[in-house]
Chains A and B, each alone.
Chain A
């Protein structure tokens, strides 16, 4: 495994030649293992209720925003909109509220999403293994749970209260998800919070731990850069574009088969240029507000973060094709996920 010193050395190296060499290797490996394809997905925010106080997040419990969650009818409306755009791979998100978006709510949303999408992922509060197993049986293929930062001291400073303040419960969430049968797990760090070299090193260790213990899971990584919320900046340790690209390329070189996601937090200029350098999935046509696709006018929206790439799915597809990549909307065919296999676990 690569050392922290080595990661730091690579990230601090400002030489264009070094970056080019790294990018060349990353591009070659990406093409070798993923070909010229880019997966596409869209986020759908179900609720902005949140019981955690995370200083950098637009949904945190102390923030005075209009709180609401989608009703089943509203979910259908938002989902139908995205499905009509061509989205097959949906990421359902909530704030972290065990009370207001409990399991029953998530299960209902997943049940509805089954009618519209071939692949369903969740980015919600960490759950217990039995709950992940229930969601898997209900049709959930993927779980995204980011540690945000692996710096425990900083973690407790920025996650001040709520369930998210429990570092270890969150750290073990991917293990519980894998134990519940989830096929695809995304880990990530929020760039801009802590020393990127340290967080990257810890993320790689977390991923290796998962790979060794749950080899059947498909892993992806995300590197969201902390964004302003309604123009208010929370960045503590800025990660510039060159460092960001190096993080993607280094990850590809160290983990040739791992998926790398890139959201609309990033500018079109960055997103267009990193195709082929390691990124395997892009979000497209995204809105980060609850009801943002069809229910709320822009001036009524309270986004989790400000997005930078406002292009539609069709526009993103055109860009991908122009760059000689195949945009992949369908990469999953639902079969009934087994609940019986995991029921013994739940009983235990």
Chain B
């Protein structure tokens, strides 16, 4: 029987606002054809953070309450979907806390219905206000270094740059800029939006992202639980690749025997 060799690299858990997570895949809950699919996707992926739009929660009466399908040990991240400015995002966060959904808020401020691009300026404003009030803020943003720095200054717990347009499945169109954030920003970078395939998620993790959030790609697949698991595995694989300090692609060929290696040889051959 072949011996299984476990890689000797050990990883630390993802730490957000003092809370630790062994799974770095975050799941969005919109667009599923039924709540059972959502429940199965959560279980299959092993995700530990799930985001729900406050606007979709119906506590009063009629619908199956989406929260009943989210296990209690999963961290609930309420998002401010529908907010067009900082004021509305803040109001939604207050409503979420007052309704007993905790104080982990993913700020989404979108004032463009055609591209659904986040408004970075308003996102910073909302983060400043809510972080001061004790909320744990995970802001969704367009990957801009200055904005990311402002968010960190405002005490954001993470920064969540978009990979490409929401729902576009185009993958890491913003790759270079996310790389800059990974290199320069001290809080975890969690790539959100536009990831259409597990390979996109793996790519984000290989870059050094601390986590990945996906929704549409999973909700719209024929087998949501299977693709959710595939995403989770890809995130794990990408993370391991990042930790392995794998060779990065280079713009031209690179000699596998270093040209100046002889300078560092122990002894001269002549």
Interface of A toward B, CB cutoff 8 Å: 31-37, 86, 88, 118, 183, 211, 215-219, 257, 321, 324-326, 328-333, 335-336, 338
Q: Contacting A326 at CB < 8 Å: which of B33, B61, B62, B91?
A: B33
> Are A86 and B61 interface neighbours, CB within 8 A?
yes
B248 — which chain A residues lie within 8 A by C-beta? none
Binds A, one of B51-59, B131-139, B153-161, B228-236: B51-59
> Are B32 and A338 interface neighbours, CB within 8 A?
no
B61 — which chain A residues lie within 8 A by C-beta? 86
> Are B55 and A88 interface neighbours, CB within 8 A?
no
B114 sits at the interface (CB 8 A): yes
Q: Contacting A330 at CB < 8 Å: which of B34, B57, B113?
A: B57
How far in angstroms is the closest Cβ of chain A from B222?
A: 10
B216 sits at the interface (CB 8 A): yes
How far in angstroms is the closest Cβ of chain B from A324?
A: 5
Compute how far the CA of A224 lies from the CA of B136 in the bound complex, rounded to whole angstroms. Answer: 46
Binds A, one of B40-48, B80-88, B179-187, B238-246: B80-88
> Are A257 and B116 interface neighbours, CB within 8 A?
yes
Known: A330-B63, A332-B55. 12 other contacts (CB 8 A): A32-B167, A36-B220, A37-B30, A86-B62, A211-B113, A216-B113, A217-B113, A257-B113, A257-B114, A329-B63, A330-B62, A336-B91
* B interface, size bucket: 20 to 34
A329 — which chain B residues lie within 8 A by C-beta? 58, 62-63
A88 — which chain B residues lie within 8 A by C-beta? 58, 62
Check A333/B220 contact, CB under 8 A, given A211-B114, A216-B84: no
B111 sits at the interface (CB 8 A): yes
Compute how far the CA of A211 lies from the CA of B112 in the bound complex, rounded to whole angstroms. Answer: 8
Beta-carbon contacts under 8 Å, B76-116 to A: 82, 84, 87-88, 91-92, 95, 111-114, 116
> Are A330 and B116 interface neighbours, CB within 8 A?
no
Q: Contacting A215 at CB < 8 Å: which of B57, B88, B112, B216?
A: B112
Q: Contacting B55 at CB < 8 Å: which of A257, A325, A333?
A: A333
> Are B167 and A333 interface neighbours, CB within 8 A?
no
B95 — which chain A residues lie within 8 A by C-beta? 333, 335
How far in angstroms is the closest Cβ of chain B from A316?
A: 13
Compute how far the CA of A16 lies from the CA of B10 in the bound complex, rounded to whole angstroms. Answer: 58
> Are A335 and B91 interface neighbours, CB within 8 A?
yes
> Are A333 and B113 interface neighbours, CB within 8 A?
no
Across the two chains, which residue of chain B brings its CB closest to A214?
B113
> Are B56 and A331 interface neighbours, CB within 8 A?
yes
> Are A33 and B167 interface neighbours, CB within 8 A?
yes
> Are B220 and A31 interface neighbours, CB within 8 A?
yes
25 A-B pairs with C-beta separation under 8 A: A32-B167, A32-B169, A33-B216, A34-B31, A37-B30, A37-B32, A37-B33, A86-B61, A118-B58, A183-B84, A211-B113, A216-B111, A218-B113, A257-B113, A257-B116, A324-B34, A325-B33, A326-B32, A326-B35, A330-B56, A330-B58, A333-B55, A333-B57, A335-B88, A338-B87
Compute how far the CA of A71 lies from the CA of B244 in the bound complex, rounded to whole angstroms. Answer: 72
Compute how far the CA of A19 lies from the CA of B45 in the bound complex, rounded to whole angstroms. Answer: 38
B55 — which chain A residues lie within 8 A by C-beta? 330-333
How far in angstroms is the closest Cβ of chain B from A259?
A: 9
Compute how far the CA of A338 lies from the CA of B88 in the bound complex, rounded to whole angstroms. Answer: 9
B88 — which chain A residues lie within 8 A by C-beta? 335
B162 sits at the interface (CB 8 A): no
Across the two chains, which residue of chain B brings its CB closest to A86?
B62
B219 sits at the interface (CB 8 A): yes
A215 — which chain B residues lie within 8 A by C-beta? 111-114
A331 — which chain B residues lie within 8 A by C-beta? 55-56
How far in angstroms is the closest Cβ of chain A from B223?
A: 12
Across the two chains, which residue of chain B brings its CB closest to A36?
B33
A325 — which chain B residues lie within 8 A by C-beta? 33
Compute how far the CA of A316 lies from the CA of B124 in the bound complex, rounded to whole angstroms. Answer: 43
Compute how far the CA of A332 lies from the CA of B88 in the bound complex, rounded to whole angstroms. Answer: 13
Interface string of B143-183 (1 = CB under 8 A from A): 00000000000000000000000011100000000000000
B56 — which chain A residues lie within 8 A by C-beta? 328, 330-331
4 tightest A-B CB contacts, nearest first: A35-B31, A36-B33, A330-B58, A216-B111
How far in angstroms is the closest Cβ of chain B from A185?
A: 10
Compute how far the CA of A36 lies from the CA of B169 in the bound complex, rounded to whole angstroms. Answer: 16
How far in angstroms is the closest Cβ of chain A from B142?
A: 15
How far in angstroms is the closest Cβ of chain A from B115?
A: 8
Compute how far the CA of A208 lies from the CA of B208 in the bound complex, rounded to whole angstroms. Answer: 40
Compute how far the CA of A37 lies from the CA of B32 in the bound complex, rounded to whole angstroms. Answer: 7
Compute how far the CA of A330 lies from the CA of B31 in the bound complex, rounded to whole angstroms. Answer: 13
> Are B33 and A324 interface neighbours, CB within 8 A?
yes
B220 — which chain A residues lie within 8 A by C-beta? 31-32, 35-36
B112 — which chain A residues lie within 8 A by C-beta? 215-216
